[in-house]
Amino acid sequence: MAAAMIADFLGHGGRIDAAMRAWPGAPRPWLDLSTGINPQPWAPPAGLTVDAAPLPSRAALAALEASAARTFGVAAERVAAVPGSEIALRLLAAMGLPRPIVAPGAGYATHRDVADAQEGAGGTLLLANPNNPDGRLIPPAGLLAMGEGRWLVVDEAFVDAQPEASVLPLVDEAAPVVVLRSFGKFFGLAGVRLGFVVAPAAILARLRGLLGDWPVSAQAIAWGAAAYADMAWIARTRETLASRARRLNALLASHGLAAVGSSLLFRLVVHDDARAIFGRLAQAGVLTRPFADRADWLRFGLPADDAEFARLDRALADG
Protein backbone atom coordinates (compact mmCIF):
# COMPACT_ATOMS: atom_id res chain seq x y z
CA MET A 1 0.00 0.00 0.00
CA ALA A 2 1.09 3.61 -0.52
CA ALA A 3 3.54 4.96 2.04
CA ALA A 4 1.54 8.17 2.38
CA MET A 5 -1.59 6.19 3.26
CA ILE A 6 0.07 4.18 6.02
CA ALA A 7 2.04 7.07 7.54
CA ASP A 8 -0.80 8.21 9.83
CA PHE A 9 -0.90 4.82 11.57
CA LEU A 10 2.77 4.24 12.41
CA GLY A 11 3.03 6.31 15.59
CA HIS A 12 0.13 5.19 17.79
CA GLY A 13 -2.96 3.03 17.71
CA GLY A 14 -6.53 4.25 17.97
CA ARG A 15 -6.54 6.41 14.82
CA ILE A 16 -10.08 5.53 13.75
CA ASP A 17 -10.73 9.10 12.57
CA ALA A 18 -7.76 8.90 10.20
CA ALA A 19 -8.82 5.42 9.06
CA MET A 20 -12.28 6.70 8.13
CA ARG A 21 -10.70 9.37 5.97
CA ALA A 22 -8.23 6.99 4.34
CA TRP A 23 -10.80 4.25 3.61
CA PRO A 24 -14.15 6.04 3.31
CA GLY A 25 -15.81 3.00 1.72
CA ALA A 26 -14.88 0.57 4.51
CA PRO A 27 -17.75 -1.06 6.42
CA ARG A 28 -18.96 0.78 9.53
CA PRO A 29 -18.61 0.67 12.42
CA TRP A 30 -14.87 0.12 12.39
CA LEU A 31 -13.38 -2.69 14.47
CA ASP A 32 -10.45 -1.12 16.31
CA LEU A 33 -7.77 -3.73 17.06
CA SER A 34 -4.96 -1.17 16.89
CA THR A 35 -4.45 -0.73 20.64
CA GLY A 36 -3.50 -2.92 23.60
CA ILE A 37 -6.50 -1.75 25.64
CA ASN A 38 -8.99 -4.16 27.20
CA PRO A 39 -12.02 -4.03 24.85
CA GLN A 40 -14.43 -4.86 27.70
CA PRO A 41 -13.94 -1.97 30.15
CA TRP A 42 -14.75 -1.83 33.81
CA ALA A 43 -18.04 -0.01 34.41
CA PRO A 44 -18.66 2.15 37.49
CA PRO A 45 -21.51 1.01 39.72
CA ALA A 46 -24.81 2.84 39.34
CA GLY A 47 -24.48 4.65 42.66
CA LEU A 48 -21.04 6.08 41.96
CA THR A 49 -21.29 9.80 41.21
CA VAL A 50 -18.52 12.31 40.53
CA ASP A 51 -18.79 15.91 41.71
CA ALA A 52 -16.58 17.79 39.26
CA ALA A 53 -17.31 21.24 40.71
CA PRO A 54 -14.82 21.41 43.62
CA LEU A 55 -11.12 20.65 43.41
CA PRO A 56 -10.34 17.04 44.33
CA SER A 57 -9.55 16.58 48.01
CA ARG A 58 -6.22 15.33 49.30
CA ALA A 59 -8.06 12.65 51.26
CA ALA A 60 -9.73 11.33 48.10
CA LEU A 61 -6.40 11.28 46.27
CA ALA A 62 -4.81 9.37 49.15
CA ALA A 63 -7.69 6.88 49.09
CA LEU A 64 -7.11 6.29 45.37
CA GLU A 65 -3.40 5.70 45.89
CA ALA A 66 -4.12 3.33 48.78
CA SER A 67 -6.63 1.38 46.67
CA ALA A 68 -4.12 1.01 43.85
CA ALA A 69 -1.34 0.11 46.29
CA ARG A 70 -3.37 -2.80 47.70
CA THR A 71 -3.75 -4.20 44.19
CA PHE A 72 -0.03 -3.71 43.48
CA GLY A 73 0.93 -5.30 46.81
CA VAL A 74 2.93 -2.34 48.13
CA ALA A 75 2.57 0.27 50.87
CA ALA A 76 0.40 3.27 50.00
CA GLU A 77 3.22 5.73 50.75
CA ARG A 78 5.22 4.24 47.84
CA VAL A 79 2.54 5.14 45.26
CA ALA A 80 1.79 8.44 43.50
CA ALA A 81 -1.03 8.98 41.00
CA VAL A 82 -0.22 10.66 37.70
CA PRO A 83 -2.38 11.72 34.72
CA GLY A 84 -1.35 8.72 32.65
CA SER A 85 1.88 6.72 32.80
CA GLU A 86 3.16 8.45 29.65
CA ILE A 87 3.47 11.70 31.61
CA ALA A 88 5.61 9.88 34.16
CA LEU A 89 7.89 8.64 31.39
CA ARG A 90 8.39 12.19 30.15
CA LEU A 91 9.24 13.36 33.68
CA LEU A 92 11.86 10.71 34.50
CA ALA A 93 14.84 13.05 34.26
CA ALA A 94 12.99 15.78 36.17
CA MET A 95 12.35 13.28 39.00
CA GLY A 96 16.08 13.19 39.59
CA LEU A 97 16.89 9.88 37.92
CA PRO A 98 20.48 9.87 36.71
CA ARG A 99 21.31 10.22 33.04
CA PRO A 100 21.86 8.80 30.55
CA ILE A 101 18.45 7.14 30.35
CA VAL A 102 19.06 4.00 28.31
CA ALA A 103 16.14 2.26 26.55
CA PRO A 104 17.48 -0.80 24.70
CA GLY A 105 15.81 -2.55 21.80
CA ALA A 106 12.35 -2.18 20.34
CA GLY A 107 9.79 -0.59 22.60
CA TYR A 108 7.34 2.23 23.07
CA ALA A 109 7.74 5.33 20.94
CA THR A 110 7.68 7.36 24.17
CA HIS A 111 10.62 5.34 25.51
CA ARG A 112 12.62 6.38 22.47
CA ASP A 113 11.51 9.99 22.95
CA VAL A 114 12.78 10.20 26.54
CA ALA A 115 15.89 8.03 26.22
CA ASP A 116 19.38 9.40 25.72
CA ALA A 117 20.67 6.16 24.19
CA GLN A 118 19.78 2.59 23.27
CA GLU A 119 22.82 1.11 24.96
CA GLY A 120 25.36 2.03 27.59
CA ALA A 121 26.26 1.59 31.24
CA GLY A 122 25.46 3.72 34.27
CA GLY A 123 22.61 6.16 34.50
CA THR A 124 19.11 4.68 34.34
CA LEU A 125 17.91 1.61 32.48
CA LEU A 126 14.35 1.90 31.11
CA LEU A 127 12.50 -1.29 30.19
CA ALA A 128 8.89 -2.28 29.54
CA ASN A 129 7.69 -5.60 30.92
CA PRO A 130 5.72 -7.00 29.15
CA ASN A 131 7.32 -5.13 26.29
CA ASN A 132 5.34 -3.38 23.60
CA PRO A 133 4.93 -4.22 20.76
CA ASP A 134 6.68 -7.60 20.75
CA GLY A 135 5.18 -8.86 24.03
CA ARG A 136 8.55 -9.95 25.40
CA LEU A 137 8.30 -10.88 29.08
CA ILE A 138 11.41 -10.98 31.27
CA PRO A 139 11.22 -12.78 34.64
CA PRO A 140 11.32 -10.23 37.50
CA ALA A 141 14.61 -11.54 38.88
CA GLY A 142 16.15 -11.17 35.43
CA LEU A 143 15.04 -7.54 35.28
CA LEU A 144 16.77 -6.77 38.55
CA ALA A 145 19.94 -8.44 37.33
CA MET A 146 19.88 -6.30 34.18
CA GLY A 147 19.56 -3.14 36.26
CA GLU A 148 22.25 -3.97 38.80
CA GLY A 149 24.64 -1.07 39.38
CA ARG A 150 22.29 1.63 38.13
CA TRP A 151 18.74 2.86 38.51
CA LEU A 152 16.04 0.71 36.93
CA VAL A 153 12.70 1.95 35.58
CA VAL A 154 10.20 -0.79 34.72
CA ASP A 155 7.18 0.26 32.68
CA GLU A 156 4.53 -2.27 33.73
CA ALA A 157 1.68 -0.73 31.74
CA PHE A 158 0.50 -4.18 30.61
CA VAL A 159 1.33 -6.24 33.70
CA ASP A 160 -2.03 -6.03 35.50
CA ALA A 161 -3.29 -8.98 33.48
CA GLN A 162 -0.29 -11.03 34.67
CA PRO A 163 0.55 -9.82 38.21
CA GLU A 164 3.05 -12.62 38.73
CA ALA A 165 5.29 -10.83 36.21
CA SER A 166 5.59 -7.66 38.30
CA VAL A 167 8.95 -6.77 39.78
CA LEU A 168 7.34 -5.09 42.81
CA PRO A 169 7.36 -8.12 45.16
CA LEU A 170 11.15 -8.31 44.80
CA VAL A 171 12.04 -4.71 45.68
CA ASP A 172 11.77 -2.74 48.90
CA GLU A 173 11.05 0.93 49.40
CA ALA A 174 14.72 1.92 49.32
CA ALA A 175 15.72 0.02 46.17
CA PRO A 176 16.84 2.13 43.15
CA VAL A 177 13.82 0.92 41.21
CA VAL A 178 10.88 2.89 39.78
CA VAL A 179 7.80 1.08 38.50
CA LEU A 180 5.17 2.69 36.28
CA ARG A 181 1.63 1.33 36.17
CA SER A 182 -1.25 2.18 33.83
CA PHE A 183 -4.93 2.21 34.79
CA GLY A 184 -6.39 2.59 31.31
CA LYS A 185 -5.07 -0.54 29.58
CA PHE A 186 -6.26 -3.30 31.92
CA PHE A 187 -9.44 -1.52 32.99
CA GLY A 188 -10.17 -0.50 29.38
CA LEU A 189 -10.53 3.19 30.24
CA ALA A 190 -7.61 4.95 28.56
CA GLY A 191 -9.57 8.19 28.31
CA VAL A 192 -9.63 8.56 32.09
CA ARG A 193 -5.88 9.35 31.88
CA LEU A 194 -4.65 7.74 35.08
CA GLY A 195 -1.42 6.01 35.99
CA PHE A 196 0.86 5.47 38.97
CA VAL A 197 4.51 5.70 39.94
CA VAL A 198 5.88 3.33 42.59
CA ALA A 199 9.25 4.62 43.80
CA PRO A 200 11.43 5.57 46.77
CA ALA A 201 10.24 8.52 48.85
CA ALA A 202 12.72 11.05 47.43
CA ILE A 203 11.64 10.31 43.84
CA LEU A 204 7.96 10.61 44.74
CA ALA A 205 8.58 13.92 46.53
CA ARG A 206 10.12 15.40 43.38
CA LEU A 207 7.28 14.02 41.27
CA ARG A 208 4.60 15.48 43.54
CA GLY A 209 6.38 18.82 43.40
CA LEU A 210 6.29 18.74 39.61
CA LEU A 211 2.59 17.85 39.37
CA GLY A 212 1.25 20.02 42.19
CA ASP A 213 -1.66 19.45 44.56
CA TRP A 214 -4.17 18.19 41.96
CA PRO A 215 -2.35 15.74 39.70
CA VAL A 216 -5.45 13.86 38.49
CA SER A 217 -9.12 14.65 37.95
CA ALA A 218 -12.09 13.99 40.20
CA GLN A 219 -13.33 11.34 37.76
CA ALA A 220 -9.96 9.57 37.75
CA ILE A 221 -9.92 9.55 41.55
CA ALA A 222 -13.46 8.24 41.97
CA TRP A 223 -13.38 5.68 39.19
CA GLY A 224 -9.83 4.54 39.93
CA ALA A 225 -10.44 3.96 43.64
CA ALA A 226 -13.62 1.99 42.93
CA ALA A 227 -12.08 -0.06 40.11
CA TYR A 228 -9.04 -1.15 42.11
CA ALA A 229 -11.33 -2.17 44.96
CA ASP A 230 -13.41 -4.37 42.62
CA MET A 231 -11.40 -7.54 43.19
CA ALA A 232 -14.06 -9.83 41.71
CA TRP A 233 -13.97 -7.92 38.40
CA ILE A 234 -10.16 -7.93 38.41
CA ALA A 235 -9.94 -11.70 38.95
CA ARG A 236 -12.62 -12.45 36.36
CA THR A 237 -11.00 -10.14 33.80
CA ARG A 238 -7.58 -11.76 34.17
CA GLU A 239 -9.14 -15.12 33.32
CA THR A 240 -11.13 -13.65 30.42
CA LEU A 241 -8.11 -11.92 28.88
CA ALA A 242 -6.05 -15.11 29.03
CA SER A 243 -8.82 -17.07 27.31
CA ARG A 244 -9.31 -14.40 24.65
CA ALA A 245 -5.57 -14.22 23.93
CA ARG A 246 -5.47 -17.98 23.36
CA ARG A 247 -8.47 -17.71 21.05
CA LEU A 248 -6.81 -14.93 19.05
CA ASN A 249 -3.65 -17.02 18.73
CA ALA A 250 -5.70 -19.86 17.28
CA LEU A 251 -7.60 -17.60 14.88
CA LEU A 252 -4.42 -16.02 13.55
CA ALA A 253 -2.76 -19.43 13.19
CA SER A 254 -5.72 -20.67 11.14
CA HIS A 255 -4.80 -17.99 8.58
CA GLY A 256 -1.09 -18.82 8.61
CA LEU A 257 -0.18 -15.97 10.99
CA ALA A 258 1.88 -17.00 14.02
CA ALA A 259 1.55 -14.73 17.07
CA VAL A 260 4.59 -14.00 19.24
CA GLY A 261 4.98 -12.50 22.70
CA SER A 262 3.46 -13.06 26.12
CA SER A 263 1.25 -10.02 26.74
CA LEU A 264 -2.41 -10.94 27.17
CA LEU A 265 -3.65 -7.60 25.82
CA PHE A 266 -2.23 -7.85 22.29
CA ARG A 267 -0.55 -10.26 19.88
CA LEU A 268 2.25 -9.46 17.44
CA VAL A 269 2.51 -11.07 14.01
CA VAL A 270 5.82 -11.09 12.13
CA HIS A 271 5.13 -11.51 8.42
CA ASP A 272 6.75 -10.33 5.20
CA ASP A 273 3.37 -9.09 3.94
CA ALA A 274 2.40 -7.27 7.16
CA ARG A 275 1.80 -3.94 5.40
CA ALA A 276 -0.38 -5.56 2.75
CA ILE A 277 -2.37 -7.40 5.44
CA PHE A 278 -2.86 -4.10 7.26
CA GLY A 279 -4.26 -2.53 4.10
CA ARG A 280 -6.60 -5.43 3.31
CA LEU A 281 -7.97 -5.44 6.84
CA ALA A 282 -8.47 -1.67 6.73
CA GLN A 283 -10.51 -2.03 3.55
CA ALA A 284 -12.73 -4.40 5.57
CA GLY A 285 -13.06 -1.83 8.37
CA VAL A 286 -10.61 -3.55 10.74
CA LEU A 287 -7.79 -1.36 12.07
CA THR A 288 -4.58 -2.99 13.28
CA ARG A 289 -1.21 -1.49 14.20
CA PRO A 290 1.77 -1.31 11.80
CA PHE A 291 5.21 -0.01 12.77
CA ALA A 292 7.60 2.48 11.22
CA ASP A 293 10.85 0.64 11.85
CA ARG A 294 9.60 -2.90 11.23
CA ALA A 295 7.60 -3.30 8.04
CA ASP A 296 7.13 -7.00 8.86
CA TRP A 297 5.34 -6.34 12.19
CA LEU A 298 1.59 -6.08 12.70
CA ARG A 299 -0.01 -5.93 16.16
CA PHE A 300 -3.54 -7.15 16.88
CA GLY A 301 -5.52 -6.07 19.92
CA LEU A 302 -8.09 -8.44 21.42
CA PRO A 303 -11.58 -8.68 19.89
CA ALA A 304 -14.25 -8.04 22.50
CA ASP A 305 -16.74 -10.81 21.73
CA ASP A 306 -17.84 -13.57 19.35
CA ALA A 307 -19.08 -11.10 16.75
CA GLU A 308 -15.72 -9.28 16.63
CA PHE A 309 -13.79 -12.57 16.40
CA ALA A 310 -16.05 -13.62 13.52
CA ARG A 311 -15.54 -10.31 11.74
CA LEU A 312 -11.76 -10.56 12.02
CA ASP A 313 -11.92 -14.16 10.78
CA ARG A 314 -13.92 -13.09 7.70
CA ALA A 315 -11.64 -10.14 6.99
CA LEU A 316 -8.53 -12.35 7.09
CA ALA A 317 -10.19 -15.01 4.94
CA ASP A 318 -11.26 -12.46 2.32
CA GLY A 319 -7.68 -11.23 2.02
Q: What is the pLDDT of residues 119-163, one digit of tens each?
A: 888 899 999 999 999 999 999 999 999 999 999 999 999 999 999
In Å, what is the CA distance from 27 to each residue of 14, 298, 316?
17, 21, 15
- Fold for the domain defined by 58-229: Aspartate Aminotransferase; domain 2 (3.40.640)
Q: Cα–Cα distance between 49 and 147 in angstroms, integer?
A: 43
Q: Would you state the pLDDT for residue 1?
A: 55
**pLDDT (0 to 100) of residue 120:** 87
Q: How confident is the model at residue 109 (pLDDT cuts 50, 70, 90)?
A: confident
Please state, in angstroms and rounded to a whole number, the distance separating the CA atoms of residues 239 and 158.
15
pLDDT at 177: 98
Res. 6 pLDDT band, cuts 50 70 90? confident
Q: What is the percent of the chain where pLDDT is above 70?
A: 98
Q: Calculate what percentage of the chain has a pLDDT beyond 90.
A: 90
Three-state DSSP at 40 gives coil
Q: What's the average model confidence in pLDDT over 248-263?
A: 97
* DSSP 8-state secondary structure symbol assigned to residue 199: -
User: Rounded mean pLDDT of 70-75?
Assistant: 97
CA distances from 167 to 31, 145, 156, 172, 281 (A): 34, 11, 9, 10, 37
Q: Which residues make up the CATH 3.40.640.10 domain(s) of the chain?
A: 58-229
Q: What is 3-41+233-318's CATH topology?
A: Aspartate Aminotransferase, domain 1 (3.90.1150)
Domain with CATH 3.90.1150.10 in the chain: 3-41+233-318
Amino acid identity, position 215: P
Give first-to-last CA distance, the chain, whole Å: 14
Q: DSSP alpha helices (H): ranges in the chain?
A: 3-6, 16-22, 58-72, 85-90, 109-114, 140-147, 184-187, 201-211, 218-229, 231-254, 274-283, 306-318
